[in-house]
Chains A and B, each alone.
Chain A
Amino acid sequence: MYKYDNYDQAIVDARVAEFRDQVKRRLAGEITEDQFKPLRLMNGLYLQLHAYMLRVAIPYGTMDSRQMRMLAHIARKYDRDYGHFTTRQNIQYNWIKLEECPDLLEELATVEMHAIQTSGNCIRNISSDQYAGAAADEVADPRPWAELLRQWSTFHPEFSYLPRKFKIAVIASPEDRAAMRLHDIGLELVKQDGVLGARVFVGGGMGRTPMIAPEINPFVKADDLLSYIEACLRVYNRYGRRDNIYKARIKILVHEIGADTYRAQVEEEFKHVKTLGIDPPLAELERISAFFAPPAFDSSDVEPDRSDPDFAVWLDQNVKPHKQAGYAIVNISLKPIGGIPGDASSAQINVMADLAEQYSFDELRVTHAQNIVLPHVAKRDLYAVWLALREAELADANLDLISDIIACPGLDYCSLANARSIPVAQKIATRFADLDRQRDLGELKLKISGCINACGHHHAGHIGILGVDRKGVENYQLTFGGSGAEDVSIGKIIGPGFDEDGVVDAVEKATEVYKNLREGDERFLDTYRRVGLDPFKEAIYG
């Protein structure tokens, strides 16, 4: 994975010093909260329900054990001994003190980590495929391109006061494991006549008005990429709406002027930007790519011993094929039944760090489904890994099953929320605790958001739940038929909302309808798409 050189380190160190000074001025009253707020947001520091919340960046979800151990250390020293992994591959700490934040950031900088641009109306963490470098279906590792974009977007002087936040995702396979089409800009690396380039999609997003990004350019070469993206951003910065924060994302602009007009404006700006010489030489992408060379795999190819039935179940559910013979991709579930989706204690974080170091060439990934991946585990080591995970209560064999719920922190933590999301997730997981029952239901991606901002990605859930405030009381709407994969679709509300227990019952009824109507090896999503909403509505509302 990428390692900082002196330049990268200097930039992060300067940011630590700058923020230390800004905090000092805020505490001394030299700047007001209104003036300080955009500055602290650009450094990922929110004021939430209980305290300050800090969102630490995990660039394209990739870390080594040293960095993971630092996250555990931060949780112990500055927070309450746990962290929350997010739907953008970052980590959040909920109990941070402003006066301690400068020291926290200084410690993070010692392991090449930061909280730069994890909030604010600027370009956020570039996300990517959690199986990058390990999946057989990728045309190339997407992360060097993500790193190129990370550097280009960091402290970009023209794009730090955009109409709204800006999220970019990069994948490199036909299977979309990063919800790429639901980003402001999504890139899919493809090959054309043997040359690697990017298909560029602009104008996707969730939130209040979910939209799927249309393709704006079928192929942009590596040495044109930054000029092209710069053109995309400049058109947005100049013409994105600034009159209404709920209409300020680029998806609204692309939708309102139309993809063709947006494309034409970008092409014109690109022609101009290309004359400025802002693209690094290909040597820079090559330099970065060298950090992502495959690890030194050995040639062993030992199938694991399946005689332990619990291990076999976990193997079948959570372990995915690796492009290298003899290796496998391990998914670590952070969704124990009755637990808090995406949360991990500092002890658990350290266990995962140790496993990465010992068994995964010192690398881990965070997924947008709030789980962790060990990307390069030799099959002969899988049983040892599973034993260690089980001891740390990290071995739930529920990847992509109904209890593998994506849930935002909701009203238990977030000042934007209208309803609590975590208790709903807990009740659903508990209702479906029986693993055989879950496996029988198969792939069922259930996502819960505590408000319309959709940080739980409910629009992209096969089953989505949206918490709303109905005359001061928490209420939950159900949506069906969303998908964040390459068969991207936006879920539809099925009818009137429910209270907390009501929505759990409704979900259960929906799964019964699915079991009655499914054909072949259809997933819930497939059956819904085939039979439509009516059979479900009838069962749920009578």
Chain B
Amino acid sequence: MKLLTGNELGSGAVTWWTGSGWSIHVEDSVDVGEGGEAILHAEEGARRVNAPYIIDAIGTPEGPRPAHIKDRVRALGPTVRPDLTLKPADPAAGEWVI
């Protein structure tokens, strides 16, 4: 599947396209299929996202899992500071990234 991701312009937070808007949680992201570029340009032009790009991901029971480790690190947070990630209380979160 293809996910559209980027950063919030003002805060810099990592965001994921949900189909109707943007979420900081990769679990909320949707497969943009082949139509991602058009959404990317529209959202970037309206400044609802900064530095957007499209990535490959695999669907899993827990939700989309980005294919590249770099985007999994973006999705969760630094593996060496679980307390700063989106899932500080989840010991399995680091495993999901690696």
Contact = CB atoms under 8 A, between A and B. Distances in A.
**Chain A partners chain B:** yes
Interface of A: 26-27, 29, 33, 47, 49-52, 80, 95-99, 340, 411-413, 415, 417, 420, 422-423, 426, 472, 474
A188 B68 CA distance: 45
Contacts of A33: 44, 50-51
A100 B74 CA distance: 21
Interface of A is mostly: mixed
Nearest to B94: A423
Given A27-B9, A47-B51, A415 B70 contact: yes
Contacts of A472: 67-69
Given A50-B74, A51-B13, A340-B81, 13 more contacts: A29-B47, A49-B70, A49-B74, A50-B78, A51-B12, A95-B84, A98-B9, A98-B10, A98-B12, A411-B69, A411-B73, A412-B73, A417-B70
Contacts of A51: 7, 11-14
A49 B51 CA distance: 11
B12 A426 contact: no
B62 to A, nearest CB: 20
23 contacts: A27-B9, A33-B50, A47-B7, A50-B78, A51-B11, A51-B12, A51-B13, A52-B12, A95-B12, A96-B12, A97-B11, A98-B9, A98-B10, A98-B11, A99-B11, A420-B79, A420-B80, A422-B78, A423-B80, A472-B67, A472-B68, A472-B69, A474-B69
Interface in B3-31: 7, 9-14
B64 interface: no
A474 B73 CA distance: 13
Interface of B: 7, 9-14, 44, 47, 50-51, 67-70, 73-74, 77-81, 84
A423 B11 contact: no
Given A98-B9, A99-B10, A340 B73 contact: no
Contacts of B74: 49-50
Nearest to B85: A50
Nearest to A418: B70
Sorted from nearest, which 3 A-B pairs have the closest CB atoms? A51-B12, A412-B78, A52-B12
Contacts of A422: 78, 80
A426 B80 contact: yes
Contacts of A96: 12
A336 B95 CA distance: 24
Nearest to B79: A412
B70 A411 contact: yes
A175 to B, nearest CB: 33
A97 B14 CA distance: 12
A474 B72 CA distance: 14
A180 to B, nearest CB: 31
A52 B70 CA distance: 16
A49 B13 CA distance: 9
Nearest to A49: B74
A289 to B, nearest CB: 41
Contacts of B7: 47, 51
Contacts of B77: 50
B92 to A, nearest CB: 17
Given A47-B50, A49-B73, A80-B84, A413 B78 contact: yes
